[in-house]
Structures are given as structure tokens and as C-alpha cells.
Structure 1
Amino acid sequence: MKLIFLLQGIRIVQLALWNCLIEVIWFYGITFCGPLRSILVFEQSPSVIMVALLTLLKGSNSSSKTRGVIALMLGYLSLILMDSDATVESNHKSSHSHQSVLNHLFYHFIHNSGVSDHKGGVILLIFAVLIKMAYDSSFRHLAVEIGGPKRLYSLVTLFSAIFLTPVAILAFAMGEVYITSFIDFILLLFMGSMFVMVFDFYTESFCFQHVADPVLSSARWSPMIMFVCAFMFASAWYTGESHHASDAHVISGGVLLTLLCFIIACFSLTSSTSPRSRGGYYVGLSDSGMPLYTYGEAFLQKTSRSIMLLIKETLAEILANTDSRRIFWFLCANLSFCGIEFLYGFWTNSLGLISDGFHMLFDCSALVMGLVASVMSRWPSSKYYSYGYGRVEVLSGFINALFLIVIAFFIFLEALERLYDPPDISTDKLMIVAVAGLIINIFGMFAFHGATHAHSHGDDGSHSHSHSHNNASHSHSHSHSHSHSHGEANANMQGVFLHVLADTLGSVFVIISTLMIQYFGWKWVDPLCSLILSMLILGSVIPLLKQSMATLMQNMPPKTEEEFEHILHEILNMEGVMSYSNVHLWQLKSVFNIVSLHVQVSDDANDQIIRLKILKILKSINITQASVQVEKENFFHRISALCPSYKIPQRITKGVAIGHTSVSGNFCHHNEVCD
């Protein structure tokens, strides 16, 4: 029995030593990076971190776990890379030469690693959290043998105080600790011990006794509540007068992003993965003894697709097409360069690199819009979009053109203002950024140059109607034929190409202006180059704006207009054709032209032969889809007798100048209601 007590005592002392190590590392971590950052890192639940590690190592079928791992990694990265807090003195050797060896060890470890103080503090706290995970596991196993967690916690706290008290007294005696008021110090020590040591432990114990799933509930809500409360207290503290102090660990954008990512991670990684019912809800038995179920939306589980499967399918769809593949690879190159600029800019606190990174990010948004349009334009037609989504690429080109015009307009105004009063320009690292951007944009120029010329292989569809006075039947037929055409340029790819062209010219002008400023001191060259750049952007984007706007307005394709007039003359000269009416020609997208035409023929003419001849003629001018309605004179007599209010449309006969007649303005009133 004595041997058992001795072994348990040794294990308790070992736990106390590990607890002392964790507390010391936590103390230096909070010194380096401040209380808010230490709470965000150190108070993260070990269960959340363990689930994230298991998901990374073994994988998971749950999309929520994957989202949680991504959010947790983004939180740590943003706190290390996007947080510019640096408040501890860098010249520690001269200002803290009187401190202990332990202080020198931590300070020199941080400064010799080449990172700022708060980054070193975050790394120390992450290391402390990993040690704490092993400590908690040993604590739970030993608590079962000792007789409960309360007793073990009291013993570990007692031994930790015994070990740390001599160190604190020695530090106070050597003059390393400066206490202005012993009353305030004792009061703060008592309050801190009560809330951090006692109140926190009993609150967690209460939750474990009264909550259905205490481990996951505590791992989810405890860190989230602490994070939000700490952020609120820090916001109130740093917005007061004390935030002007030089040693204040103020709140940055990286801290805010970390807070949001950690909350998402806590919620996602602790979500239940138990299967739910996908069937009906049992409500009882019928009179005959059969079970009764209620099926409704409230009892049905909607299945969610895995985010990895969605990404895989989307990538396969992107890489299956030449246009979307070109945009995707250039977008990856652009995002990589943008990420390098952001990381290096945040690391070196270079505002120029960060500003250029945001500029590259804006360009990436245009590429993303072009990529989405390229993918959506290939979606099949649906019930509500019978023509499909092909016109999305025209809309994307129109929006990109508007963006470029707005950019060129603001560049023009800013260049005029700076031309009269040239400001001082810092050329530090400007040449490197401009050359790197030029290389990326030249790659994009070569990638998109061939894609701006339309090249299509498609199916020609035809649609015809024939009516006869002696036969009440209504015939309806379709025909399809393969076509190969070189037509109008793809508006979406043209808009992306113009964005890349504008960036390429911008990089060239930046290089020119940088050289002129460095060697000759000509500060007016920069606004002059910007003025020329805005003119070039406007001159190149206006044709795209006009073309895409005309396509959205369903105008006749300009390159097809003259040929189409000759085709109409040829149709009038066909044997049996008397006239035509209701001519409509419009462009759906770059190489997709549609024609709707009514042809009036003699009663003895073969309407099917005439229809096939017309379709063949229309296909010769790259008409992708044609709807030809063949009408005979008996049809008009019959429809006039049945519906006296029917208005016969204007007909174009031989000898009438087509150019003086509206091609697409005649609408027949077939929707008249006749009693």
C-alpha cells in the first residue's frame, strides 16, 4: 500500500512539474504577444486540436471537419503572418542586462530566430498547448486512481505553488520584479487565482455533470465564449486612453480574422457525425396494427455534398475546356504572385508590396468572374433557360468592359491631377515588383491571345411549320447538321485579355517611369505614363463594350448583315416562294446566331423541299439555329375565317428594297383570341 501511495505521489509531482513548465511558457507567451492573443492560442480546446490532427492524418468523410481544419489553419497563419504587433524592445541586451538567465534564454531564443516578439510568443503558446494536451490526458488517467479530479487538481496546484514560490521570491529579491503597491498586487493575485484557478475549474466540472455531451459541448462553447469575451474586453481597453502606450498590444486585422476562423473551427470540428434519420417519423399504430409514419421536411435529413468532391468535380469541369483551363492556370499564377506579395509585405511591413497585392487581388476578381462565366456558358439548357447559359459569357465581357472603363476614368483623373503637381515617389522595390508583374502578364498575354479568336464546332438546328387549307394537319420538324465556323470573338475571353493587356502596359509604364525617376529625377513621367495608359485602355475596351451591349440587346451580327440581305434575295428568287415576313436575326453569343423566318409559298409548291433549301442557304452564312415557318395562301383564308381579328403581317415580295424594310421589327399577332 505504501508503494502504491509512493508511486502516485511521484506521478502527482511529475504532473506538477509539467504544469509549472506550461505556466512558465504561458507567462512568457503572454508577455510577448499580449493577453488577447494568448487567450486565442492557449485557451483553444485540446479536443478541437486533437480532432483537427486526426482529420489531417486519417481524413474524414464529413465536410464540416474539413472546413474546421481549414479554418483552424487559416487562424494560426493569419495570427503569425498578418499580425503586425511588435511591442517588446528589440535591443534586449542593453536594456535588460540585469535580468535572470531564464529571461535571457527566452528573449535570445525569440530574437535569434529572426521573428518579431509577438510571433515568437504565439509559437511559444502553440508549444504550450501541445504540452497541455499530453498533460490533460495524464491528468484524466491519474484522476481515476486518486479519487476524482477535484482532489488531484488541488494536489497538483499545491505542488506547483511549492515549486514556483521560491522562484518568485528569488526573482523579487534580485530586483527583477517591480511592485508599485503590495495591496494592489495581493488583490490582483487573489482575484486572478479565484477566476483562473478555482472558478474556471468548478465551472467546467459543473458543465461535465449537467450537460448531455460534456466533452464536445465544453470543447465548443467554452473557447468560443472566452474568445468573444476577451475580444470585447480588449476592444474596450485599447479604445481608451491606455492604447496610446508604446507597449500596447493593439487589435489588428490578423487578430480579427483569427477570432472568426477559430470560432468557425470550434463549431465545425465539434459538430456531431452520428447518422440521422432519413426516413419518416414514427407516430403510432393504425387500427389494424400497421405502423404509421409522417413524412415531411421537418423529419427528412438533407444530404450535403463533400466540399472535396465538389472541388474535384469543379476542377474537372474547368480543365475540360480550353478557355476555362487558360483562365484557371493564369489565375493560379496570379494568386501565387499575389500571395507572395502579401506574405512578404506583411513580413517586412512594406506598404508598397501590400498595396500592389491588393491591386493583383482586384485583377484576380476579374479572372474569377471570367472563369465562372466560361464554366456556366457550357451548362445545358433547363426548363427556365431554354437557350442555356451561353449568354453569361457576353454578360461577363460587358461587366469586365465597364470595370476597365471605370479604372481608366479614375486613372485619367488622378494622372491629370498629378501632372500639374507631381508628388514624391518612392521607388524602393518598385522595379522588382514591376518586372515580376510584367513576367506574369506576358505569360497571360500568350495564354489568351489565341483564345480571343472565335472557333466553333456546333450543331445547326432548323424548325419549320407548314399549313394547308385542304389539310388541317400542322407539321413540325427539326433538322441538325454539323457546322464549322470562325465568327465573332468570345466576349468573355476578350474581356479577360483586355484586363491582362492593361496590366501588361501598366507594368511596362511603371518600369519606364521608375527608370526615368531614378536616373533623371523626372517625376512628371509617372503621371504622363498613367495618362497614356488610361487612353490606351479606353481605346481598346470601347469596341468590346459596344459589341457586348449590342449582343445583349439582340442586334443583328454586323458581319452577317450584308450576307443576310443577299440570302433574303435568294430566298425570294426560289421557285414557289412568293414573299416572306417576320424576319428575326439575332446573336445569342459569340458564334451562335439564330434566325426566325416566315415564308409564303404558292399552293402547289412543296413546302418541305423549300424549307430544306432555305435551311441549307442559311447554314452557309453560319446560322446556328433557324426556325422557318412555311405558309400557303389557303392558311390565311382559313385563319381569317376562324379569327377575323387576325392581322396579316407585312410581307416582303420581289421588287421591294430590303434595306428600307425593318428586318426584325415585324411581329405577327398570332396570339389574338378568337371566339
Structure 2
Amino acid sequence: MPGTVHLSPRHDHVFLGAAHAENERRTWIVIALTATMMVAEIVAGTIFGSMALVADGWHMSTHAAALAIAAFAYRFARRHARDPRFSFGTGKLGDLAAFASALVLALVALFIGWESVMRLVQPVPIVFGQAIAVAVLGLAVNLASAWLLREGHDHAHGQSHAHGHAPHAQGHDDHHHHHDDAGHGHHHHAQAGRDNNLRAAYLHVLADAFTSVLAIVALVGGSLYGWIWLDPMMGIVGALVIAHWSFGLLRASGAVLLDTVPDRSLAEGIAARLAADGVEVADLHLWQVGPGHCSAIVSVVATDPKPPAAYKALLSGLPMLSHVTVEVNPPVAVA
């Protein structure tokens, strides 16, 4: 059919994040740390008859479960990256995992908030010395875990990722450019380049560390000044902050799952480059197919049409534009 661009020869659709394997490895290490601490707290609490220890241990189990979701998502995405059942690869699986993880985070916030309100209404006796020791130990484990995941997050933003596809001649191509030739850099494209799966794991660890800090403050205040109410009040503060993080993660991962435009400046850049060549952009679809990878389908109208490859060449160098399909149409005559 005239004006229709046919698909190119078969090629890969691997759109995993820049440091996928490294982030997967870090997540498994953090799971090991969290699970060890969780088991230690539950066992010690049972032996020494401390409900606070047992409760904190089970609280950590929810974070361990969320971290497991992240780790298995990395593993599944890697193993099935070239599975033809997935039209655009498995790059978005991390966002699905992040969405599920954000729901777990919301439940954790709800549980902490409810428990805190109950303790305000009916205060429970606190063994301050033991509780402070546990909180400090938990904080140390969480800070080590947060450092591991944060370093992975920074590493992911500092790398580019290329798969080395050969150019295709029929208007369907894969580009792997992560540096803006106009000098905008990563700053303007942080949202589309973010690994939400790693962010979810990081927020779970951070939430645990944050609650540990609040607990230490509350316990020290309670032991020094007898402010028993400070412990549940800090719990409510922690619940509100964690709920806020959860909502942010739900929005970010949900936006990717719903194929919202990941970067307006990238969409504008595509339209501007094509318009500068004298063609009209009739239709433009831009969505994220993985961390740092965007796909575009562009339909252009040209009085003097060129091969699709020429229009693809105009778009080369745009950051994160990894997969491009171009459709060229002649102008429609108006009767």
C-alpha cells in the first residue's frame, strides 16, 4: 500500500535499564540483610518475651516481601528480555513490580498509623533500653541497605546502554542514544530514565530507616522525660510520610504502565526536527518501554516525500529514543 512503512527484518526489543544486572544483584544482597535482621528480631523477641521485637520483625517481613517482588521482577525481565510474547520487551516489568510494591508500602503506612492511634488511646508499657538497642541495630542495617540501593541508583544514571542494532531500511529502527546533542543532558529526562523498580526497593528500605530514626527519637524522649505519647505520635508522622512516598511511586509507575508521554521536551524535539525539514507531523505517539528507553511512532505528511530512513536520521541523537517507527503519507487533496 502506498505510503505505508512495512516492518523491518526481525530484531531484538531489549529495553532493560542501564545497570539491570547490577541493580538485581544489589537488591538480592539487601533482601539477605533484611531477612537476616527480620529472623533475628522474631527469634530474639520470642525467646526474651519482647512483643516490640516480634512486631518489628514482622514489620520488616513486609519490606522483605516487597524487595523480593523487585528482585524477581529484575530476574524475570532479564530471562524473558527476548521472549517474542512481549511486543516491546520486558523493560516495563519493573514498573509493574514498583506499582505492586507501592501498594505494599501504602499498607505498611496504614498499619503503622492504625497501631499508633491505638497506642495513643491505650498506651502500652515500653522497655526503653532494649527497644532503643533494637531500633539502633535496625537503623544500621537499613542505612547499609539504603547505601547499597542508592549507589545502584546513581550508577544507573551515570551509564549509557547500547545494544548495537544495525540500521534497518524500511522505516523501523532502534536507536540507543542517551546523550542529548543539544547539551540538555540527563537532568531534563530524569523521570523517563528512572528505574522505578529500584526506586521502590530503595523507598522500602528508606521507610524502615525513617521509622527507626523516629522510634529512637521517641524512645529517648520517653526514657528521659517520661513522654510515653511521643512514641505513637512519631508513628503517625512516619505513617504520613511513608504514605506520601507510596503515592508518589504509584503515580510514577502507573504513568509508565498507562503509556503516558514520558518526556514532553522529547516529544517537542521530535516534532521540531521533522517540522524543520518541511514535513507536517500528523500523529505522534511517544511512550516508555523501559528505564531510559522510549519508543515513538511518527506519522508524517510530506509534499515531496523522502524514504522513512531519512526522517529517522533526523531523529538520531535525541536522548532515550531507542525505538522509532515512521509512516510517510502524501498530502490529502481537498475537493
For the criterion TM > 0.5, the same-fold answer is yes
Paired position in structure 2 for 1:582: 283
Query: Of the candidates 220, 230, 234, which is equivalent to residue 515 of structure 1?
Result: 220
**1:383 is aligned to 2:87:** no
Deviations 1:470-529 (A, max 9, x none): xxxxx7355444423544321111111111111001111111222122221111101111
Quick check: 1:462–1:628 contact (8 Å CA) kept in 2? no
Provide the rounded CA distance (Å) in 1 between the counterparts of 2:297 and 2:147: 39
TM-score by length of 2: 0.80
AA in 2 matched with 1:392: L
Matched residue type, 2:33: A
Counterpart Cα distance in 1 of 2:174 and 2:309: 16
Percent sequence identity over matched residues?
26
Give the Cα–Cα distance (whole angstroms) in 1 for the partners of residues 112 and 49 of structure 2: 26
- Cα offset, 1:397, TM superposition: 1.0
Given that 1:595 and 1:627 are in contact with CA atoms closer than 8 Å, whether structure 2 keeps it comes out as yes
Residue of 106, 124, 127 corresponding to 1:405: 106
Structure 1 residue aligned with 2:73, among 366, 373, 379? 373
- The 3 A distance-change label for structure 1 pair 322 and 606 is same
Alpha-carbon distance in 2 for matches of 1:495, 1:512:
26
Match of 2:161 in 1: 457
Cα distance, 1:393 vs structure 2? 0.4
Pair 1:563–1:586, CA change in 2 (3 A): closer
Task: Judge conservation of contact 1:463–1:476 (CA < 8 Å) in 2.
Answer: no
- Residue in 2 aligned with 1:621? 319
Structure 2 equivalent of residue 499 of structure 1: 204
* Cα distance, 1:448–1:533 mapped onto 2, change above 3 Å: same
Task: Supply the AA of the counterpart residue of 2:103.
Answer: L
Aligned position for 1:538:
243
The correspondence for 1:363, drawn from 53, 63, 80, is: 63
Give the distance between the partners of 1:480 and 1:567, measured in 2 at CA: 15
User: How far is 1:596 from its partner?
Assistant: 0.2
Structure with higher Rg: it is 1
| TM-score normalised to structure 1 length | 0.41
Secondary structure at the residue paired with 2:109? helix
- 1:442 is displaced (CA, Å) by 0.8
Distance 1:536 1:427, change over 3 A: same
1:569 corresponding residue in structure 2: 272
Structure 1 residues 405, 609: CA separation in 2 closer, same or farther (over 3 Å shift)?
A: closer
Runs of 4+ in 1 over 6 A off after TM superposition: 460-464
Residues 146-194 of structure 1: CA deviation (Å, up to 9, x unaligned):
xxxxxxxxxxxxxxxxxxxxxxxxxxxxxxxxxxxxxxxxxxxxxxxxx
Asked whether the 8 Å contact 2:98–2:253 carries over to 1, the reply is: yes
Q: Relative contact order (alpha carbons < 8 A, sep ≥ 6): 1 or 2 greater? A: 2
Q: How many residues align?
A: 301
1:420, CA displacement in angstroms?
A: 4.7
Counterparts of residues 625-636 of structure 1 (less than 5 Å): 625-633=323-331
**Partner Cα separation in structure 1 for residue 164 and residue 300 of structure 2:** 19
> Taking structure 1 as reference, are residues 417 and 404 closer, same or farther at Cα in structure 2, changes over 3 Å only?
same
Question: Helix, strand or coil for the counterpart of 2:133?
Answer: helix
Q: Retained in 2: the 8 A contact 1:376–1:390?
A: no
Q: For the residues of structure 1 that align with 2:320 and 2:164, how far apart are their CA atoms?
A: 9
In structure 2, relative to structure 1, the CA distance for the partners of 1:583 and 1:551 (3 Å cut) is: same
CA-atom RMSD in angstroms: 2.8
| Distance 1:338-1:320 versus aligned 2 partners, 3 A rule | same
Q: Where does the alignment leave 5 or more consecutive residues of structure 1 unmatched?
A: 1-318, 465-474, 638-647, 649-675
Once residues 235 and 311 of structure 2 are traced to their aligned partners in structure 1, the CA distance between those partners, rounded to angstroms, is 58
Q: How far did residue 333 of structure 1 move?
A: 1.5
Unaligned runs of 5+ in 2: 1-18, 180-185
Q: Which amino acid aligns with 2:64?
A: C
Q: Describe how 1:262-341 pairs up with structure 2 within 5 A.
A: 321-341=21-41
- Cα pair 2:170 2:308 within 8 Å, conserved: no
- Deviation digits for residues 583-641 of structure 1, max 9, x if unmatched? 111112321111001112224x432563243332xx413211111122335xx79xxxx
Q: In structure 2, what is the equivalent of residue 435 of structure 1?
A: 136
1:344 has 2:44 as partner: yes
What is the rounded CA distance, in whole Å, between the counterparts of 1:538 and 1:356 in structure 2? 19
- Letter of the 1:387 partner, please give it: F
Shift of 1:361: 2.1
Secondary structure of 1:483 counterpart? coil
Secondary structure of the 2:162 match is: strand
In the alignment, is residue 393 of structure 1 matched against residue 97 of structure 2?
Answer: no
Q: Which amino acid aligns with 1:340?
A: A
Whole-angstrom distance in 2 between the partners of 1:320 and 1:390 = 10
CA gap of 1:414–1:340, structure 2 versus 1, over 3 A, is closer
Is this contact kept in 2: 1:582–1:597, CA < 8 A? yes
1:599–1:630 contact (8 Å) kept in structure 2: yes
Q: What's the CA shift string for 1:256-310, capped at 9, x where partnerless? A: xxxxxxxxxxxxxxxxxxxxxxxxxxxxxxxxxxxxxxxxxxxxxxxxxxxxxxx
The 8 Å contact of residues 295 and 324 in structure 2, kept in 1 or not, is answered as yes
Which shifted more, 401-410 or 518-527?
Answer: 401-410
Q: 1:195-240 CA deviation, whole Å, 9 max, x = no partner?
A: xxxxxxxxxxxxxxxxxxxxxxxxxxxxxxxxxxxxxxxxxxxxxx
